Amino acid sequence: MNHILVEKATRNIKDILELSMKHKLTSDALVIYDTKNGLTEILYEAYQKALPNAVFKDFDTLTKSEILELFAALKPNDLVVLIQTSNFRLDDFRIRLHLFNLKLKVIEHMHLYRNDETVWDVYINSLAYDKGWYDKMGQKLLGVLGELETLHIQSGNCDLIVKSGLEIPKLNTGNYDHFENIGGTFPIGEVFTEAKNFEDMNGSILVYAFANQQFEISYYDPFKVVIENGLVIGFGENAPKEFKDIIELVKTYERPLIREIGFGLNRAITRQRPLGDITAFERILGMHMSLGEKHSVYKKAGIRTNKSKFHIDLFLQIDKVKADNRVIFKDGKYTL
């Protein structure tokens, strides 16, 4: 066991519990875990140190009915932590949704096996709850993105223009003061939105990584992706076959639409030392977008949430981002 990582994880988890979740360390909590991965074991030990009064249960030793009984015994505003090598499944039962319906707070660590041992320290560092940074930059981005008329993304020799404004941005920065549901998947650190009108998104961008068909991240030399009326219509000569195959797969079922426009805020995650899990890696300081019609946060005419299939993250090489005439991101840093 890496005791240095355990101690660092314990400090970060205590901050999440007290500052983000507003959970007293001595209050009731239920931690469900497994023992299939070294990173899972580090988090398990850290939560034992951070939550001395919590009940700890090994998922693989419980039946579905036993797990549901544990949930039912909790009171509203009690805490549930899920530490998952992969993703706990109870048939088609959606655990986190059920917990939120019970008015429980939830911290979820998932797909930990995708993070190689060489980046376990990156994952632990990414759990640091930098409240001042997240609150300040989250609110600044919320204001700027919500009010702009034109978003201009400069990416090498590529320019992508989004006119007619963006949808009301959403925050994933650990502040749940005005949220119905408290908690979610950690690590955190993101502000996301999408174009109000997809047809007003035109130009091209450079992509250096994307989610592949194995739900892992594929990295390549940056290649151009051409967008017209919100749709991917072409790509540069150096675009990898793997990406072309994904485009064709998406087109089999739905339009290759660009939906989510995400701004990552987690300064512990870098392109040089990336995390293997997509949900964690998309918090990286920088920008990502989603390919495909699936983005249930925003309702759009002609797109049925229960019918849309693909939400494939694309990670962008960015030189500069402008909100109207104001530079908000340049040379790898936010300038707000």
Apex 267 CA angle, 194 and 218, nearest 5: 65
* pLDDT at 305 (0 to 100): 84
Neighbours of 231 (CB within 10 A): 17
Mean pLDDT in consecutive groups of 10 residues from the start of the chain, 336 residues? 92 98 93 97 98 96 94 95 93 84 96 96 98 97 98 97 97 94 97 98 98 92 98 97 98 97 97 92 97 94 90 97 97 95
Residue-by-residue DSSP string for 259-280: EEEEEE-BTT--SSS--SSHHH
Backbone φ/ψ region at 230: left (φ over 0), alpha (ψ -120 to 50), beta: left
Same structural domain, 179 and 92: no
* pLDDT at 1 (0 to 100): 63
* pLDDT at 189 (0 to 100): 98
pTM of the predicted structure, to 2 decimals: 0.95
Domain count for the chain: 2
CA distance 174 to 20: 5
Single out the residue in 78, 104, 126 at which a domain terminates.
126
In the numeric block, the tokens 């300038």 are attached to 335
Same structural domain, 323 and 294: yes
Same structural domain, 137 and 254: yes
Structural domain of 256? 131-334
Same structural domain, 138 and 86: no
Beta strands per DSSP E along the chain: 29-33, 55-58, 79-83, 105-109, 151-155, 158-162, 170-172, 183-185, 190-194, 201-211, 217-228, 231-235, 258-264, 286-291, 312-316, 320-323, 326-330, 333-334
Same structural domain, 70 and 135: no
Single out the residue in 97, 126, 155 at which a domain terminates.
126
* pLDDT at 238 (0 to 100): 97
Same structural domain, 157 and 276: yes
Neighbours of 195 (CB within 10 A): 23
What SS3 class is residue 305? coil
